[in-house]
Structure 1
Amino acid sequence: MSLKEQITDDMKAAMRAKETVKLGTIRLLTAAMKQKEVDERVELDDGMVLAIIEKMLKQRKDSITQFEAGGRQDLADIEKAELAVLSVYMPAAMSDEEVQAAVAAAVAETGAAGPQDMRKVIDVLKAKLAGRADMGKVSGLVKAALSK
């Protein structure tokens, strides 16, 4: 079952169970997925769906930070509930050792010799680590590996 089908099934289950927070969050996600399909005239695969979920997770984290700084704990709690629902669809995160091993393998695979080859390494890693590692952190590790 694809991720898109799983999300649709979860939406139906949330409707039957009358879970309003989960249902609302999944509806937001399906709306974002449909918008992407219409805009780009493509059928979404799991990687594209994960990218949408990642973007939504980042938005929720930013919102939580802003709401807590502004003293709006009620709104932060709503965002945290949505964050929990969206997090279910993300694959298990990789450990730091696994990420470093993947970076080393990608550097060897691409034959990267210096910082000018960073784009090649990142392109290889983006496909392998999508949704499983923070790409900002990965970028820093690649930069460190290529500047040696």
Structure 2
Amino acid sequence: MGLREQVNTALKQAMKDKDSARLTTLRLINAAIKDQDIAKRGGDDDACVNDDEILAILGKMTKQRNESVRAYEEGGRIDLAEGERSEIKIIEEFLPRQLDEAEVEAAIEKAISDIGASSIRDMGKVIGQLKEKYTGQMDFGAVGPIVKNRLCNVG
């Protein structure tokens, strides 16, 4: 079952369970997916986002909510921060398991050696391979500087 179907199944179950908080978050996920479907169409009525693109959407939604949690906590609005955290938990149900720090390091090293990266010019290729294999499993905002640092120290 694809991610789109998983979200729709969870949405129907939340309706049956009358779980309004979960239902609201699942509707937000569905709306984000449909927005991307519409943006992708551009004349092709059958174009839909695939699972990798849905993972990217979910990753972006999680990142936005994490930023909101930080802002709310800095502003002393713990109640709002908790609401964002509960949305993050629901969104993360559809994301693959996040790699831990050691696994991220190993994936970066493997990508660098697979590509034969030898300078900062190869950074795009390394990141591209990581995105192809690990979409939704690592924070590419954090991975970029690590890859850059490794490539600057190669050779």
If the TM-score is normalised by the length of the shorter chain, which range does it land in?
Answer: over 0.9
**Alpha-carbon distance in 1 for matches of 2:31, 2:116:** 41
Secondary structure at the counterpart of residue 69 of structure 2: helix
Q: Which residue identity is paired with 2:32?
A: A
**Alpha-carbon distance in 2 for matches of 1:124, 1:94:** 16
- In the other structure, the counterpart of 1:145 is 150
Secondary structure at the counterpart of residue 94 of structure 2: coil
- In the other structure, the counterpart of 1:6 is 6
Shift of 1:137: 2.6
Q: Which residue identity is paired with 1:124?
A: Q
Q: Is the 8 A contact 2:40 2:49 kept in 1?
A: no
1:113-132: per-residue Cα shift (whole Å, max 9, x none)? 11121111111111111111
Q: What are the ranges of 5 or more consecutive residues in structure 1 without an aligned counterpart?
A: none
Give the % identical residues: 39
Among residues 109, 112, 115, which one is paired with 2:114 in the alignment?
109
Q: Which residue identity is paired with 2:3?
A: L
**Alpha-carbon distance in 1 for matches of 2:85, 2:67:** 11
Q: Is the 8 A contact 2:120 2:151 kept in 1?
A: yes
**Alpha-carbon distance in 2 for matches of 1:52, 1:96:** 23
Shift of 1:111: 1.9
Shift of 1:74: 2.1
- In the other structure, the counterpart of 2:79 is 74
| Counterpart check, 1:132 vs 2:148 | no
| Counterpart check, 1:83 vs 2:91 | no
Moved >4 Å (runs of 4+) = none
Kindly report the root-mean-square deviation, in angstroms, between the aligned alpha carbons of the 2 structures: 1.2
Shift of 1:8: 0.2
1:23-73: per-residue Cα shift (whole Å, max 9, x none)? 000000000100100111131211111111111111111111111211222
Q: What are the ranges of 5 or more consecutive residues in structure 2 without an aligned counterpart?
A: 42-46
TM-score by length of 2: 0.90
Q: Is the 8 A contact 2:115 2:126 kept in 1?
A: yes
- In the other structure, the counterpart of 2:52 is 47
Q: How many residues align?
A: 148
**Alpha-carbon distance in 2 for matches of 1:70, 1:96:** 30
In structure 2, the CA distance between the partners of 1:63 and 1:117, relative to structure 1 (3 Å rule), is same
What are the residue-to-residue correspondences of 1:87-102 with 2, within 5 Å?
Answer: 87-102=92-107
